[in-house]
Amino acid sequence: MAPSTFAPWDCCLSAGLSISFSSRVGVHKFYLGKWILGIIYFLTGGLFLAGIVYDYWTLNRQISEANAAPAGA
């Protein structure tokens, strides 16, 4: 397998853009590998918008956790 050309800021940029433009349908949760929360966000409109506010406050931590997790976890 070829070495990854993934830069750490790519994940921040992608997750930040997805939370800004499509947070009510949970795209940022799917991107971070949190499928169950992504489905819940999709069905509830971002946990009735309260979850979106929480995600704005904790997005950097969530990205760090997603980057630290082993691939496929």
pLDDT digit string (tens) for 19-29? 667 767 888 78
User: Mapping DSSP to helix (H, G, I), strand (E, B) and coil, where does residue 26 land?
Assistant: coil
Residues 73 and 51 sit within 8 Å (Cβ to Cβ): no
Residues 17 and 63 sit within 8 Å (Cβ to Cβ): no
**pLDDT of 34 over the 80 cut:** yes
Q: What's the token pair of residue 68?
A: 């630290």
Give pLDDT, residue 8. 55
Mean pLDDT value of segment 39-60: 86
CA distances 35 to 5, 26, 41, 42, 60, Å, are 25, 9, 10, 10, 18
* pLDDT tier at 36, thresholds 50, 70, 90: very high
Residues 29 and 37 sit within 8 Å (Cβ to Cβ): yes
